Amino acid sequence: MTLPLWLVPALPLAGFLLNGLVALVCGSRRAAKANAAWRAAHPDDHGHDGHGSDAHGHDAHGSDAHGHDAHGDAHGHDDHGHAGPFLPYWERLFYGVVGVASVGLAGVVAFANLVPYVAGSLATEGGLAPVVQTAYRWMAAGHVTVDLAFRLDALSAMMLSFVTFVGTLIHVYSVGYLQDEEGYGRYFAFLNLFMFAMLTLVLASSLPVLFIGWEGVGLCSYLLIGYYYDKDFAHQAGKKAFVTNRIGDFGMVLGIFGILALFGTTDFSFVDMARQGAMNGTAPVTVYAVCLLLFLGAVGKSAQVPLYVWLPDAMAGPTPVSALIHAATMVTAGVYLVARCSAVFVLAPDAMTLVAWVGAGTAVFAATIGLAQNDIKKVLAYSTVSQLGYMFLACGVGAFGAGMFHVFTHAFFKACLFLGSGSVIMAMHHEQDMRAMGGLGPKVPRTYATMMFATVAIAGIPPLAGFFSKDQILGAAFGAGHPVLFAVGLFTAGMTAFYMFRLARMTFYGSFRGPKDAEARVHESPATMTVPLVVLAFFSVVAGFLGVPEALGGKNRFVEFLAPSLAAAHPHHVPLATEYLLMALSVAAAVVGIVLAWRWYGRQDATAQVPSAAAQALYEKSGTLGRLVENKWFVDEGIEAAVLSPFRKIGTFLWRGIDALLIDGIVNASAFLVELTGDLVRFFTTGNVRNYALSFTLGVLVLAVYVFLR
């Protein structure tokens, strides 16, 4: 190793500390100056000291800065816009340089270790042994020890490569996208902290250390999704993401304890123990339970049914946050966990079947919702949920390498799509409704070109990246003897191509459908935003060539490289002719989706409705099904009615009936009795000796009469 592994997460952590400290100091000074200015302007008013709009820096958070509520679903809007006065140039420069440099240097350190390791692994039969570096002993209890250690093997190397690379590009993009924000320093501090947590998760050498990063990305997602904290929908979305993930995290904690009980350790040596048959004396039901608990954690983090509901609302955060969370980092953590523990999952075939069906169900379910979304970021959000389902489908049929390959390619084209949508939103002055767009291609040529490359890639058109990874998943499902899962995946591929080209058609083609004054103000984004788009578009094209299958003359070096870190469930070989047929079906499904989207959403005249008359007629014929899809299957409403509302009523009853009435009533009654007793005693406590003597005498007389009469 060239450089210590702990430097990789440590550098973003240092960026967080620097940016956070400077943001706190400078923010406090601005607040103090604003307070002083307000006091000088209101010398006679002391009732609202320091609570004016300037003191809190929200004077520009009105409809002009965040004016998207008029478009209906406010939870999907990226409320980008400066929240107050422009920051000094030196301050914005400091935040940007520290934020980008900390992650960029982490990437340099990472690649300094990755290059020799990957080269050595590819040149060595069976790959190089994992490299484990221990920082210090974290805890020891009996025979159980937990070290703060970092591990570099094929799986962590793959994750580390695109997390640092894509993360750096998103940081660069953020410099231009949020340059007018008063919370610029706070944003980069949180973004750096997020990278620290994600890199800790990726490099962890044990489940407890992985869990630190796991919870860290959950916390940072809450902070970043709720970045516009003065907006109700933003902080509600942040809380929704945080609470929903806690459900899955509870299962993961139990799963970690289950791993400890089964193997006597929580470091990743248990993977080798599972491969070597260490489970022969363990009841299968115990292994199934542990796998299901770990999978519950993955379902929450990777937004699978039924815990997917947090991810679409996460669009309330800035667009670069959406790209970071939904493309390369947080949501892929669940897939990474299942792949990391693949040797244990192979021991529980029924658990793997459940993983496959949950993934397939999520893929097709989210794709149906994506068909009818009009918010450009919401389309991409449901696309992310659907693509994550593909990854779990692959893991469930034993094709862990194919699943991780799709994680890799998806990081590039989905990051490109999200960042491209942010460029479109800026060009449209924060408009996100695609029905108010159209004809933007010539006006934003670099954004248009890069997004089209990424759109073709996610649609699965050869030879772009998405084709190779998606084809491997579909082929693995068919080869593993699951034709129904293959059919579901194929149908989903067609829907993916449809809604993505629907997005492209409604956004870049036809005539402009927004206000005339808005059309004149459409502009291309600055280089800090378009250069990352170009880089991501390039990798959306070429990344798939790392995994060219043997049927097309390749060796699938990607899966070959990952093989030492993943378990092999069973072979997925299919005859060559069958493989060609499966590829043809995959491409045909994508082409059908593209053609339908092109016809139904490709009207050129300025007065045309979106969608076209044909698409509208089909919607009207669909009846209840169309309304269900348009309203996202009423899942949020169902959760509100079946879960949230009853628990809210129970909570209200416990608060008012039990806490306020019963518990507080008992305490208040006790206090009343004590007070009443005190008042009675006070009546006799006069401080007059003669009264005390009289009371004593009367008491003696009463006692004497009682004794006499007895």
Quote the pLDDT of residue 284.
75
Place of tokens 């004590």: 674
Decide if pLDDT at 63 tops 50.
Answer: no
Q: How far apart are CA 190 and CA 136, in angstroms?
A: 26
Decide if pLDDT at 31 tops 80.
Answer: no
Can you tell me the mean pLDDT for 674-702? 82
Note the pLDDT tens digit of each residue in 122-136: 888 888 899 999 988
Note the pLDDT tens digit of each residue in 576-587: 889 999 999 999
Quote the pLDDT of residue 599.
84
More confident residue, 682 or 464: 464
Q: What's the pLDDT band for 53 if we cut at 50, 70, 90? A: very low
Note the pLDDT tens digit of each residue in 167-188: 999 999 999 898 878 888 999 9
Note the pLDDT tens digit of each residue in 333-360: 999 999 999 999 998 899 999 999 999 9
- Report CA dihedral (231, 243, 173, 113) to the nearest 10 degrees: 160
Length of the chain: 710
Q: What's the pLDDT band for 699 if we cut at 50, 70, 90? A: confident
Can you tell me the mean pLDDT for 147-164? 95
Quote the pLDDT of residue 605.
47
Residue 246 identity: R
Can you tell me the mean pLDDT for 428-449? 91
Q: Is 32 helix (H, G, I), strand (E, B) or coil?
A: helix
Q: How far apart are CA 430 and CA 515, in angstroms?
A: 13
Can you tell me the mean pLDDT for 476-501? 94
Q: How far apart are CA 416 and CA 419, in angstroms?
A: 5
- Report CA dihedral (444, 445, 451, 455) to the nearest 10 degrees: 120
Q: How far apart are CA 258 and CA 273, in angstroms?
A: 15
Two structure tokens written together for 562: 């990952």
Quote the pLDDT of residue 280.
54
Quote the pLDDT of residue 56.
41
Computed over every residue of the chain, the mean pLDDT equals 86
Decide if 381 contacts 315 (C-beta within 8 A): yes
Q: How many CB atoms lie within 10 A of CB 648?
A: 11
Note the pLDDT tens digit of each residue in 360-397: 999 999 999 999 888 999 999 999 999 999 999 999 99
**CB within 8 Å of 200: residues ≥ 6 apart:** 9, 209, 210, 212, 213, 216
Quote the pLDDT of residue 282.
61
Q: How many CB atoms lie within 10 A of CB 491?
A: 17
Note the pLDDT tens digit of each residue in 213-261: 999 999 999 999 999 988 888 889 999 999 999 999 999 999 999 999 8
Can you tell me the mean pLDDT for 435-454? 93
Quote the pLDDT of residue 144.
84
Find which of 5-14, 36-45, 516-525 is predicted with most confidence, using mean pLDDT. 5-14
More confident residue, 41 or 294: 294
Q: What angle do CA 43, 46, 52 make, to 5 degrees?
A: 85
Two structure tokens written together for 485: 């899962």
Q: How far apart are CA 665 and CA 659, in angstroms?
A: 8
Three-state SS string across 175-195, please? HHHCCCCCCHHHHHHHHHHHH
Q: What's the pLDDT band for 61 if we cut at 50, 70, 90? A: very low
Quote the pLDDT of residue 518.
82
Decide if 400 contacts 391 (C-beta within 8 A): no
Quote the pLDDT of residue 86.
65
At 101, which helix (H) or strand (E)? helix 89-123
Quote the pLDDT of residue 181.
81
Place of tokens 């072979």: 571
Q: How far apart are CA 501 and CA 513, in angstroms?
A: 18
Two structure tokens written together for 257: 């304890």
Q: What's the pLDDT band for 83 if we cut at 50, 70, 90? A: very low
Percentage of the chain modeled with pLDDT above 90: 54
Q: Is 62 helix (H, G, I), strand (E, B) or coil?
A: coil
**CB within 8 Å of 192: residues ≥ 6 apart:** 12, 13, 15, 16, 19, 98, 99, 102, 103
Quote the pLDDT of residue 59.
41
Decide if pLDDT at 78 tops 90.
Answer: no
What is the chain's alpha carbon radius of gyration, rounded to the nearest angstrom?
Answer: 31
Q: How far apart are CA 96 and CA 180, in angstroms?
A: 12
Q: Is the peptide bond before 43 cis (omega within 30 degrees of 0)?
A: no
Q: At 475, phi and psi to the nearest 5?
A: -65, -40
Decide if pLDDT at 320 tops 90.
Answer: yes
Quote the pLDDT of residue 182.
80
Q: At 419, phi and psi to the nearest 5?
A: -65, -35
Two structure tokens written together for 645: 């509302």
Q: What's the pLDDT band for 49 if we cut at 50, 70, 90? A: very low
Decide if 345 contacts 351 (C-beta within 8 A): yes
Quote the pLDDT of residue 278.
58
Note the pLDDT tens digit of each residue in 259-284: 998 888 899 988 888 887 655 556 67
